[in-house]
Structure 1
Amino acid sequence: MKTVAGAFLLAVLIAPVQAQTLPGGFVFLRDIDPTIIQDIRYASSNNFTGRPLAGYGGAECVVKREVGLRLKAVQQELAQKNLSLKMYDCYRPARAVADMVAWSRNGKETAAERRYNPAFAKADLFRLGYIATHSLHSTGAAVDLTLVDLTADNSGKFDPAKDYADCTAPAAARAPEGSVDMGTGYDCSDVKGHTATDRITPAQRRWRTMLVAAMARQGFVNYAKEWWHFSLPGAGGPAYDFPITRAR
């Protein structure tokens, strides 16, 4: 009996440490639907800054609960076609947005950074509408995502030491995405990344159309300059700055 009581007491003491309470109606997406693939780029070096952004202490998709439930509904529809959503970014702490601003103004432009914006300088990203100084991501109502064909070989891994072609190049030459070919890589600040561009192939157009349609059926609205960016009107609110940590 003492052993059982001791184990129970230990569980009670440990539980509050393991449980995490998120503010403002936020949830970890994996608690809503663990089948949705996550590749949170700003928690790694695989993004346009080449390093993790401030506030990304864990590679976790955090969203408002309503957003999570609707993403689950999208995932259930896609599963019937052997497809899955893949999350690139979800809630973005305000400090990460400030980090992006500082990065854009540091006066440096490396070859790795140019892969994401081959046509113009990174200092112009905000003026041209590719990055916002006040992001909907910080409200929990916006997400960046793509589609994964679950029947395909998605084993390609990003190698930070490799000299990849820029984000507008054919899929075989640019950094591996582990997803369907949408015509550009994620975070490609280029006209080719605009959702309705005519500079992509018919097959790439069909993938984009499928993604936009599936998201629209759950109320999500696409941002015209980024095929990967969607927001849920009315689900946001104030911008938050709490850091992202691991779900458990």
Structure 2
Amino acid sequence: MKIVVILAAVAGLVSPVLAQGLQGLPGDFAFLRDIDPTIIQDIRYAGANNFMGRPIAGYDAAECVVKRDVGLRLKAVQRELARQRLSLKMFDCYRPARAVADMVAWSRNGKETAAERRYNPAFAKADLFRLGYIATHSGHSTGAAVDLTLVDLGADNSRKFDPAKDYADCTAPVAARAPEGSVDMGTGYDCSDVKAHTTAGSITPAQRRWRSMLVAAMARQGFVNYSKEWWHFSRPEAGGTAYDFPISRAR
């Protein structure tokens, strides 16, 4: 078997499935940057700018990994948005099952810091799973679910997250909460609050238009939005096999 693989590689006949396997990804997974490098990535769980305040298990690199078909559909969404000088920005893509387990353990550790409460100002973190804001079995682990937002390429997106700054909670006006370099969707990313529900009545007309634009653009490529999170979209196959390989840097 090894001889066949080597000969095929030398002949330049390695199949896409095998080639991806050699990069450390299962055959139907791919790095999004290899499919569309114009899509902005801000993979939050690979750093400290997230609700846990640290890198989450399995995120060894800030890379968006998706099923290839999902990536191609995101590329089609990006092409449509580019005509309006907009871009997608990815916050999370494939999520290793070990990361989900890490989130579960975090929710049960009996501690809650002020920085953590910025993400769930109205609820205790121990209740986030019961309320449906975090799942014990995530569609992200199948490679068919993504978290994302929109970026206005003509706007000033230069504000950067400062871990030493005491930001307001995720439901506050955009100037007071942690910067995300994106359009104002009414809440920050990963905001566990009713205001983050996609059709929340407490947001402004402009924020509602941005959310509607994102939902419509994603729906045209077969993505379904999760009603409690304006940023979360999945393909119907998101209920498939969950994976647990760590996310490494694209070669």
Structure 1 portions without partners, runs of 5+: 1-15
- Name the stretch that deviates more: 228-237 or 167-176: 228-237
CA distance in 1, matches of 2:223, 2:93: 14
Name the counterpart of 1:11: none
Structure 2 residue aligned with 1:88: 91
Aligned equivalent of 1:245: 248
1:89-134 per-residue CA deviation (whole Å, 9 max, x = no partner) reads: 0000000000000000000010000000000100000000000000
Aligned-partner residue type, residue 25 of structure 2? L
User: What's the TM-score, normalizing by structure 1?
Assistant: 0.92
What value does the CA root-mean-square deviation take over the aligned residues? 1.0
**Aligned residue type for 1:193:** A
Instruction: Give the structure 1 partner of residue 34 of structure 2.
Output: 31
Q: In 2, distance between residues paired with 1:237 and 1:198?
A: 33
How many Å separate the matches in 2 of 1:48 and 1:156? 19
Residue identity opposite 2:233 in structure 1: F
Q: Tell me the residue number matched to 1:167.
A: 170
1:8-27 correspondence to structure 2 within 5 Å: 20-27=23-30
Secondary structure of 1:95's aligned partner: helix
Normalised by the size of structure 2, how large is the TM-score?
A: 0.91
Task: Please name the residue that 1:178 is paired with.
Answer: 181
Equivalent in 130, 142, 147 of residue 144 of structure 1: 147
| Distance in 2 of aligned mates of 1:66 and 1:218 | 10
Question: Are the aligned partners of 2:139 and 2:238 in contact in 1 as well (CA < 8 Å)?
Answer: no
Structure 1 position 20, deviation (Å) = 1.2
Asked whether the 8 Å contact 1:194–1:227 carries over to 2, the reply is yes
**Equivalenced residues, count:** 231
Q: Does 1:77 align with 2:80?
A: yes
**Percent of paired sites with the same residue:** 86
SS, match of residue 144 in structure 1: strand
CA displacement at 1:237 relative to structure 2: 2.2
After TM superposition, where is structure 1 displaced by more than 2 Å over at least 4 residues in a row? Answer: 234-237
Q: Residue 236 of structure 2 aligns to a residue in which SS?
A: coil
Cα offset, 1:24, TM superposition? 4.2
